[in-house]
Amino acid sequence: MAIDFKGRVAIVTGAGGGLGRQHALALAARGAKVLVNDLGGARDGSGGSLSAAEAVVAEIRAGGGEAIANGASVTDWDAVQAMVQQAVDTWGRIDIVVNNAGILRDKTFAKMDLADFRLVLDVHLMGAVHCTKAAWPHMVEQKYGRILLTTSSTGLYGNFGQSNYGAAKLALVGLMQTLGLEGAKHDIRVNCLAPTAATRMTADLMPEEILAALQPQAVVPAMLVLVGQDAPTRTVLCAGAGNVEAAHITLTQGAWIGLDGQSPERLAEQLAQVCDRSGEMVPPNGSAQGGHEVGRAMAMLKPA
């Protein structure tokens, strides 16, 4: 069955170039009305211009689609509220938010200025919070919404020199987990996408031959599925070079180490068993971890 977005209204942040541009073009090509947001700043977040967003809007309109431009910084709560209202005033609703805007301020943790750490958190994490928060009441009222948060392999698995970026990107997975639970009764589905793509964000991080294989277009199918009508929720997809994988935060079966004075030594002795991944699970929510632990404790402490 074809995935189409006729009648849907989408906001894509950071859509003036790279991956965001591809997201906006793909949604518009499949019928969505798209608000193209881009601050128009440099890779490190400095500067700003509406021209990048306007160029993508022109592309969409040239292809017969509907689009408007917006130059809000996702770090500016008032500007983000106005952006969502702009979409609602223009088209009457907001169905999809693709949180794609981001910056890089890479340095090793030892050399990183705390201002650069905070700014990256502000753009990636709070930027997504702002956009999602502004759209949320509209989605609750219409009983429909699709939120996509852009995570990263850096957040999921780490990358040298990107402690700020990694912290922000894994925080978005935590945000997804709870928003997916809270949005379920309103048919608001929240997912994460970890893209591997050649954009200005990665231009000097990889060799040319690898960049050539990582076309941004290859990430778009995963985005379309994660914001479609039949989208899953609380799902993390990784995509790049024509491949798609799912990432999970799992819980091992672990071991009961007791509550006495020898518990630390017992844990040290059984650490390999605690870390053994055979039989690992994906808990449906945070309380399931506690349920697993209490259940095992009760079984171990039960009189023979």
- Indicate which residues carry an active-site annotation: 165
283-287's contacts with Cβ under 8 Å and 24+ in sequence apart are 283/251, 285/177, 285/181, 286/177
Q: How many CA atoms within 13 Å lie on the side-chain side of 52?
A: 20
Taking alpha carbons only, the member of 125, 248, 233 closest to residue 180 is: 233
Distance CA 34, CA 196 (A): 23
- Structure-block tokens of residue 124: 């990636």
Burial class (CB in 10 A: 0-12, 13-18, 19+), 7: exposed
Q: In what order do the strands lie in the sheet with 236-240?
A: 67-70, 33-37, 9-12, 96-99, 145-150, 188-195, 236-240, 243-247
- Cβ atoms within 10 Å, residue 194: 26
Q: Decide the pairing of beta strands 188-195 and 145-150.
A: parallel
Q: Is 64 helix (H, G, I), strand (E, B) or coil?
A: coil
What string of DSSP letters covers 172-239? HHHHHHHHHHHHGGGTEEEEEEEE---STTTTTTS-HHHHHH--GGGGHHHHHHHTSTT--SS-EEEE
